[in-house]
Amino acid sequence: MLKTYNYKELTADQLQQLLDRNTDPNHAIQDTVSQIIQEVRTHGDQALKAYAKQFDKVDLEKLYLDAEEIEELAMGISRDQMRALEIAFQNIYKFHQTQLKRERVVETMPGVKCWREVRPIEKVGLYIPGGSAVLPSTLLMLGIPAKIAGCKEIIVCSPPQNNGKINGFVAYCLRLLKIEKIYLVGGAQAVAAMAFGTESIPKVNKIFGPGNQFVTKAKSIVQGISDVSIDMPAGPSEVLVIADDSANPAYVAADLLAQAEHGIDSQAILVCTDETIANAVEKEVESQLQVLPRRELAEKAMDNSYIILADSLEEAMQFSNAYAPEHLILETNEWKPLINKVLNAGSVFLGHLTPESAGDYASGTNHTLPTSGYARSYSGVSVDSFVKKITFQQIDEQGLQQIGSTVEILAELEGLQAHKNAVSIRLKDQK
């Protein structure tokens, strides 16, 4: 099932093929998504209801649930389940609350003061996947930093279930977040609705949330054709595990399968310095697969995954940084020296007792992370994702005397006379 490659024997082309994932060579996904976006822009709610019938197999009378309906669904889950969601909420809130910091005023020269102030993005859209798996944890991961940031309007979209409602766990998270409406829209059509607005769904300033390749493509398209920005490209989930002879094969297999069960386009990579451990992991994967409820999905994802045999942890880190995984797990006793070697990764899990699923749910860090190699240039979602940082400056008489001639000279050498005059006229008044 898992193909095995020796790192030092890979040609440049073979290596690149392993690093590439979730490509759309024939533009089939882009063409489909572009059509969906155009339909939503043109026909609004009518298109959304038609897509709900086509993709979600449900006829919707209205496109949202209100506070009363959310409360009824939320109260349908058990007390233990409520408590688990509350603990996750508290940990995620505690971690993210520290990210909202006031910066100090800097006096760059006497009388010249500069600083930045934080302002929330006013209207944000949160996409909560709900296809083969319902993800209330994603609502917490997006809703909590949005609330901490102070966003005035938070629009939540998630696909409807067969009964035209949402999962009770998602409803309870809405209750924890004090969000009183959720829109029953999924896929690329949800992204289009939030980007352009419909009769029911308000247009937002920025769209957040992971999804399949169609959702990811929709986010990239609307960012290019509207004034809406996105958090990052966050598509099918992926994990890369680095393991040596100290690793427990059962732990490694469980971590690989935890990603594989997300969906058939997920990817789970093992980079191992010990062939005996690698072989043991393969056997464990086969064994653990047998009892997974989502076995069929996980098996297909594992067919799209592979093992890399490396000569050393240093070599393993070279491959990992080239791959730039969404999740990186260092299942080795020697994880401390590797921390400084991590250049490209969405989130990192250290040692044998730190499963990636802890970060997915309740450790406190955010699980909305860049995939498909975008960890080379993107960070995961944080409170910073939901705010703008605006610069301020204030110059007094002393400051104008200090900086005035510098600005005049620079404006003149660039041939911008009005820029120079804006300073000169003030300096003249001070004489």
Q: Do residues 60 and 189 lie in contact, with contact meaning Cβ atoms separated by under 8 Å?
A: no
Q: Is 327 annotated in the active site?
A: yes
User: What integer pLDDT is reported at residue 234 of this predicted model?
Assistant: 79
Task: Give pLDDT, residue 55.
Answer: 94
- Convert the pLDDT of each residue in 36-47 to its tens digit: 999 999 999 999
In whole angstroms, what is the distance from residue 335 CA to residue 273 CA? 14
Tokens of residue 233, six digits: 């490209």
187-234 pLDDT tens trace: 999 999 999 999 999 999 999 999 888 999 999 999 999 999 999 987
pLDDT > 90: percent of the chain: 92
**Catalytic residue selected from 326, 331, 356, 367:** 326
* pLDDT level of residue 235 (50, 70, 90 thresholds): confident
Shortest CA distance to 244 belongs to which of 355, 352, 322? 352
315 among known catalytic residues: no
Strand order in the sheet with 327-331: 3-6, 306-309, 267-272, 238-243, 327-331, 347-350
**Residue 311 banded pLDDT, cuts 50, 70, 90:** very high
In the structure encoding, which two tokens stand for residue 270, read together?
């093992």
Catalytic residue among 327, 331, 356, 367: 327
pLDDT of residue 374: 94
**430 pLDDT higher than 90:** no
Nearest to 239 by CA among 326, 322, 316: 326
Q: Which amino acid is present at 397?
A: E
Q: What residues have CB less than 8 Å from 16, skipping those under 6 apart?
A: none
Q: What pLDDT, on the 0 to 100 scale, is given for residue 22? A: 65
366 contacts 137 by C-beta, under 8 angstroms: no
- Phi, psi for 107 (deg, rounded to 5): -95, 100
Kindly tell me if the per-residue pLDDT of 150 is higher than 70. Answer: yes
